[in-house]
Amino acid sequence: MQLTSAEVLSNQPLEGRKQKRRMSKRERRHILTDWAFISPQLFLFVLLTIVPLFVAIPILFTDMSGFNDPQVNPVGFRNFTAIFTDPSVQKDYFPALRRTVIFVILNYTTVFIFGLSLALLIYEVGFRGGFFSVVYLPLMVSGLGVGYLAVMLFSRETGTANLLLVELGIIEKGLNIYTARGTALILPLMVGWRYAGYNMAIFLAGLLAIPRDTIESAIVDGASYWQRLIRVYFPQMWASFILATTMCLIGSFAVFDELVAMGGLYVNPEAKFLSVLFFTYGFQIDRLALGLTLAMQTFLPLVLIGVALQRLQRRTQL
């Protein structure tokens, strides 16, 4: 009786069918080189992010007031329920959450107003070199510098931006950066300006990945520029859109230095976002364990959103 090819393969030893290919010296050298580049940042990430995360977990179930607290007592899940039962916590947390969410929405619009517009400009017009560097320069300015710059530009009496807007008739009187309206309008503009080059690079990478054949075919078919944007460009840029959304979400909830410069710790309650609230609880009013718990309760939903965005990005790449 003649055996089929499948039966012949099934009768062969497993070692004969799965021979592991040995890596060449060049491949091993490339892997070692990759690890050499990754190791410093990986070490700092584990040391400054992963390790503190696990160190903080036991603190969540205590009444620890500060890192020098001589007496720490277990309190069970009291810190986790404080957001629902403690009026003082609710008075602090929910207004800060509202300000943060408003900033996230407005900051997300600046991602496209600045980043996508500049990416399309470079892609279509062909600016290179110096223009790209100029757009990227604000990213080198520290967050504190951007915050102090905002305070100077939008000073009620002497701010250059305020005086210019009043002179042009766009506004009747200068914006007050220490009001809810002033903070809500000025902060997203300054943060969007700072990260314009970063977001531009994300969108430009998506544009450069679009096959030229599809664009040329749309032009031959008589599609206008707006039709090409909506039907050709954007459907092939979903990965860039999702990445920009993820980075904007992370950066918006982590904004801190700009808020400190704008008086978020003392003189400007409208700049007291969640990041400032967590810092205040941990280092100013001696409620460290509660501050860490509130940060963890805010962090977990963001993780779920990040995982969902990552799965969506993988699905768009299939």
Least confident of 69-73, 150-154, 183-187: 69-73
Does some domain include residue 187?
yes
pLDDT at 23 over 80: no
Alpha-helix runs per DSSP H in the chain: 5-11, 14-17, 25-45, 51-59, 78-85, 87-110, 117-125, 130-136, 143-153, 160-167, 180-194, 196-208, 212-220, 225-228, 238-254, 257-261, 274-283, 288-317
Classify each residue of 274-297 as buried b or exposed e, where b means 16 or more C-beta atoms within 10 Å of its C-beta: bbbbbbbbbeeeebbbbbbbbbbe
Whether 43 maps to a domain, the answer reads: no
Instruction: Answer yes or no: is 257 within a domain.
Output: yes
- What was the pLDDT predicted at 108? 95
pLDDT attached to residue 8: 47
What's the confidence (pLDDT) of residue 13?
53
Of 128, 123, 130, nearest in space to 202 by CA: 123
pLDDT the model gives residue 159: 84
Window from 6-10, 114-118, 197-201, 237-241 with minimum mean pLDDT:
6-10
| 11 has pLDDT over 60 | no
Q: What is the mean pLDDT of residues 249-267?
A: 91
Nearest Cα neighbor of 120 from 36, 208, 248, 5 is 208
Per residue in 304-316, pLDDT (tens digit) is: 998 888 888 787 7
Contact 292, 56 (CB under 8 A): yes
Examine the pLDDT at 242 and tell me if it is beyond 80. yes
* Cβ atoms within 10 Å, residue 130: 8
Report d(CA 282, CA 296) in Å as an integer: 13
Residue 207 located in a structural domain:
yes
> Residue 53's pLDDT band (boundaries 50, 70, 90)?
confident
Whether 11 is covered by a domain: the verdict is no
230: which DSSP letter? Answer: I
Q: What is the pLDDT of residues 209-237, one digit of tens each?
A: 999 898 889 889 888 889 999 999 999 99
What domain count does the chain have? Answer: 1
- Over range 119-146, report the average pLDDT: 84
Residue 191 pLDDT = 93
Q: Is the pLDDT of residue 1 over 80?
A: no
Q: Where residue 102 sits, what CATH number does that domain have?
A: 1.10.3720.10
Q: What is the pLDDT of residue 92?
A: 92
Query: Would residue 205 count as lying in a domain?
Result: yes
Q: Is 226 inside any structural domain?
A: yes
The rounded distance, in Å, linking the Cα atoms of 178 and 271 is 8
- 272 — pLDDT class (breaks 50, 70, 90): very high
Query: What is the span of the domain harbouring residue 168?
Result: 83-317
Predicted pLDDT at 22 = 78
Residue 24: inside a domain, yes or no? no
∠ CA 175-178-179, rounded to 5°? 70
